[in-house]
Amino acid sequence: MRIGFELSFYRFCPFLFCRFDEFVEENIPIVRQIQDFAAKNNVNLEQGWKVELAKQAKTALIKNKDPLNKNTDILEIWEQLFLKIQIED
């Protein structure tokens, strides 16, 4: 199966999104989890899928105007997430 990665797998394969969502582990870099999940489920991630993921995350945040307004806990979580992604690559 070949798909372009979206913010979730749901758009292409609803059953994959549900299964992937069940296996997400909080303290493991999300990029590695997505790659492992795709490999185990015969999903080929297209070149540039991480860029598309980042673009869609940015778009989702911008649409909410200021979803992180005065919420330092969420800001810290995002900072940690991006640090993990940078370390991974």
- Note the pLDDT tens digit of each residue in 7-58: 454 444 544 555 666 677 878 888 888 888 888 888 888 888 888 878 877 7
Q: Which of 46, 56, 70, 72 is nearest to 34 (CA)?
A: 46
Nearby residues of 17 by Cβ (< 8 Å), 6 or more positions away: 8, 9, 10
Q: What angle do CA 56, 58, 10 make, to 5 degrees?
A: 25
pLDDT, tens digit (0-9, with 9 covering 90-100), for 65-80: 665 566 667 778 888 8
Pick from 53, 47, 40: which is nearest to 9 by CA? Answer: 53
Alpha-carbon distance 27 to 87, whole Å?
Answer: 13
Range of the domain at 6: 2-88
Question: How many domains are there within the chain?
Answer: 1
pTM, full prediction: 0.50
Residue 72 is inside which H or E element, if any? helix 72-88
